Amino acid sequence: MLLLEPGHTAYDLRFRVFGIPVRVHPMFWLFTAILGFSALNEENGTAKFAIWIVCVFSSILLHELGHALTGKIFGNDGHIVLYAFGGVAVHRRQFHHRWQRIVVLFAGPGIQLALVGCMLVGLACMGEERLEAGINLILALLGIPSQGPISLGLHPLLQRAIFDLFFINMFWALINLLPIYPLDGGQISKESLDAAMPGGQGERVAYGISMVIAALLTIHCIASANHVKFIPFLPAFGGIFAALLFGSLAVESWQLLQQHRHPPWRRED
Ligand SMILES: [Zn+2]
């Protein structure tokens, strides 16, 4: 999601996956811990907190591997950095073709949705009732009420891990697919609109869409935190963290829109 690579620190964790160098910035652990902190107040809190950290780490790494591995297929190697509540896959050079850029952008959220699909297949292999409970669980996460059971009938900690993986991978993928710049969806929207309306017009439209949606979601998150539903068809979600994220993205899009309305080379007119 992030476009800029954070600086190196002495506490970075470094390793390789499928030959792709991965660097984990200390801020990643801090943000993940803050977001999962409430689990410590529950029964078996330490184990649930540890499950949350492992699930976030593996899910965000999977997302960035989706980008990096697809880039590698197109002959463009790269590396991954996990930072704050997100990450970045940095490719060695620009992709020549627009369609390649779009496929690489889709691959991050796409691999996460594929994981959710694989998990549902796994539950189906364990019985029809478990599949039904898994689907009900996903519907509940999306704010769609269902009458059926949501208990998978597994060990509570395994059930918790499955719940966390569904939650992180569904939400991370869906939020990343929103046409908000510089999320993956926002970059896809910019690429697509630029192809349809070349010469900068498409980019301006993409930044405008990005600004409006990010602003609406900021209000929705603040309203949700105050138990008010702002966008009727959306589940109540987000708190101050999500509001700050969408708010800063709305401001960023507004700034990009201003830059594109008044490009430096046309400032005199
Ligand atoms: Zn991404």
Compute, in angstroms, the gap from residue 1 CA to the centroid of ligand 1.
4
Compute, in angstroms, the gap from residue 229 CA to the centroid of ligand 1.
28
Lowest-pLDDT choice from 170-174, 175-179, 186-190? 170-174
Q: Do residues 260 and 253 lie in contact, with contact meaning Cβ atoms separated by under 8 Å? A: no
Compute, in angstroms, the gap from residue 260 CA to the centroid of ligand 1.
24
Compute, in angstroms, the gap from residue 176 CA to the centroid of ligand 1.
7
Per-residue pLDDT of 178-211, as tens digits, reads 999 999 999 999 999 999 998 889 999 999 999 9
Compute, in angstroms, the gap from residue 148 CA to the centroid of ligand 1.
33
Grade residue 1 by pLDDT with cuts at 50, 70 and 90.
very low
Of 52-56, 80-84, 240-244, the range with the highest mean pLDDT is 52-56
pTM (predicted TM-score): 0.90
Compute, in angstroms, the gap from residue 175 CA to the centroid of ligand 1.
10
Return residues with CB closer than 5 A to ligand 1 (ion): 108, 184
The more confidently predicted of residues 1 and 161 is 161
Per-residue pLDDT of 7-38, as tens digits, reads 899 999 999 999 999 999 999 999 999 989 98
> How far is the CA of 230 from the CAs of 22, 209, 216, 243, in angstroms?
39, 18, 9, 13
> How far is the CA of 193 from the CAs of 20, 190, 202, 203, 213, in angstroms?
31, 5, 4, 6, 16
Per-residue pLDDT of 54-69, as tens digits, reads 999 999 999 999 999 9
Compute, in angstroms, the gap from residue 15 CA to the centroid of ligand 1.
20
